[in-house]
Structure 1
Amino acid sequence: MTEKSFIPIGIAVLTVSDTRGPEDDRSGDTLVARIEAAGHRLAARAITTDDRDRISAQLRDWIADPAIDAVISTGGTGLTGRDVTVEAHRDVYEKEIDAFGTIFTIVSMKKIGTSAVQSRATAGVAGGTYLFALPGSTGACKDAWDEILLHQFDYRHAPCNFVEIMPRLDEHLRRK
Structure 2
Amino acid sequence: MSKIDESRTFVPVRIAVLTVSDSRNLQDDRSGDTLVARITAAGHEVADRKIIRDERGEIALQLREWCADPDIDVVISTGGTGLTGRDVTVEAHRDVYEKEIEAFGTVFTIISMKKIGTSAVQSRATGGVAQGTYLFALPGSPGACKDAWDEILAYQLDLRHRPCNFVEIMPRLDEHLRRK
* 1:84 equivalent in alignment to 2:91: no
The aligned amino acid for 1:132 is F
Distance in 1 separating the partners of 2:6 and 2:161: 14
2:10 aligned residue = 6
1:137 has 2:138 as partner: no
CA drift at 1:175: 3.6
Q: Does 1:45 align with 2:56?
A: no
Task: Trace 1:8-157 onto structure 2 (pairs within 5 A).
Answer: 8-157=12-161
Which segments of 5 or more consecutive residues in structure 2 lack a partner in the other structure?
none
Which string of whole-angstrom CA distances, capped at 9 and with x for unpartnered residues, describes residues 22-67 of structure 1? 1100000000000000000000000000000000000000000001
Q: How far apart, CA to CA, are the structure 1 residues paired with 2:111 and 2:39?
A: 19
Deviation for aligned residue 1:91: 0.2
Gaps of 5+ in 1: none
Aligned residues: 176
- Aligned-pair distance for 1:116? 0.1
Q: Secondary structure at the match of 1:24?
A: coil
The TM-score, its normalising length taken from structure 1, stands at: 0.98
Tell me how far 1:3 sits from its aligned partner.
Answer: 1.7
Q: Distance in 2 between matches of 1:141 and 1:159?
A: 24
Whole-angstrom distance in 2 between the partners of 1:10 and 1:167 = 14
1:173 to 168, 171, 177: 177
* Greater relative CO, 1 or 2 (CA 8 Å, sep 6+): 2
In structure 1, C-alpha distance between the alignment counterparts of 2:6 and 2:38, rounded to whole Å:
28
In structure 1, give the amino acid aligned to 2:108.
F
Q: Secondary structure at the match of 1:124?
A: strand
Alpha-carbon distance in 2 for matches of 1:41, 1:23: 20
